[in-house]
Amino acid sequence: LNFPLQYNQSDLIKATQKSTVMIDKTLISLGPLETITIYFMVCLVTGLVLVSPWVFYQGWAFVAAGLYRHERHYVQKYLPISIGLFLTGVILCFGFVLPITLGFLLEFNVWLGVAPTLRLSEWMSFATILPLVFGIAFQTPLIMLFLERIGVFTAADFRAKRKISILIITVAAAVLTPGQDPFSMTLLAVPMILLYELGILLVGRNKKRVLVQFRS
């Protein structure tokens, strides 16, 4: 989808450099195929972001196929919210997390007196994969609320599993972070933990609202 639209991927690569505390360095490639591989990877990722509403619609439609009729209206209700959360995570990562993460790592090299050699594939892994991970991670509260609505888990269940959930989030952040450094891993794990806590609050409030409606 993205490639035929003649999207100028070189501008995106330059934008990722400008969006960080960029040291005056030129990105390098270590092989003849690396540049074109990264170019098509950027095409794929930006294409996924552009068609994310359709992707999320298909995902929720797949889930809805296995639900009862009275549960399917939750899919229609949560689909726009799901898309909004995904795009919010992508924008937040690209505009806030990436500048902080890459800026810190580059400045740390300067502080140690090391001249970093910036490889194109490693740089673009940060600039493309990490925003997608953030977008998916922002689905956490919505998924928790959905599971509570269909009777799979309750707020008490989520609270009881808080410690193991934090452990799983930390491990997932370590695996999903492209650079696998502790700083960017922390920047991913902390929002995911906060989103988990937000999910518990939303589930708890929803339970209270349902009880009030039932009693009335």
One-letter amino acid of 58: Q
| 213 has a pLDDT exceeding 70 | no
- The predicted structure's pLDDT at residue 204: 81
Higher-scoring residue by pLDDT: 51, 183: 51
Whether residue 79 lies inside any domain: the answer is yes
Give how far Cα 123 sits from Cα of 15, 16, 79, 111, 117, Å: 12, 9, 32, 20, 10
Whether residue 3 lies inside any domain: the answer is no
Q: Name the range with the highest mean pLDDT among 7-16, 78-87, 173-182.
A: 78-87
Alpha-carbon span 89 to 133, nearest angstrom: 8
The torsion region of residue 39 among left (phi > 0), alpha (psi -120 to 50) and beta comes to alpha
Per residue in 147-184, pLDDT tens? Answer: 888 788 888 889 998 899 999 999 988 887 766 667 77
Whether residue 194 lies inside any domain: the answer is yes
Mean pLDDT over residues 196-208, rounded? 81
Whether residue 4 lies inside any domain: the answer is no
pTM over 0.85: no
Higher-scoring residue by pLDDT: 72, 186: 186
Q: How many domains does the chain fold into? A: 1
Alpha-carbon span 144 to 202, nearest angstrom: 9
- The predicted structure's pLDDT at residue 34: 80
Higher-scoring residue by pLDDT: 16, 69: 69
Higher-scoring residue by pLDDT: 120, 21: 120
- The predicted structure's pLDDT at residue 166: 92
Q: pLDDT over 70 for what percent of the chain? A: 80
**CA-wise closest residue to 161 among 171, 170, 153:** 153
Question: Which class for 99: exposed (0-12), middle (13-18), buried (19 or more C-beta within 10 A)?
Answer: middle
Alpha-carbon span 130 to 20, nearest angstrom: 14
CA dihedral 35→48→122→134, nearest 10 degrees, is: 170
Whether residue 1 lies inside any domain: the answer is no
Lowest mean pLDDT across 22-36, 86-100, 101-115, 124-138: 22-36
* Structural Rg of the chain based on CA atoms: 20
Chain centre distance of CA 24? 29
Residue numbers of the domain that contains 112 = 9-215
Q: Name the range with the highest mean pLDDT among 24-38, 71-85, 154-168, 176-190.
A: 154-168
Three-class secondary structure assignment of 196-215: HHHHHHHHHHHHHHHHHHHH
**CA-wise closest residue to 144 among 161, 125, 119, 127:** 161
The gap between the terminal CA atoms of the chain, to the nearest Å, is 52
Mean pLDDT over residues 68-88, rounded? 80
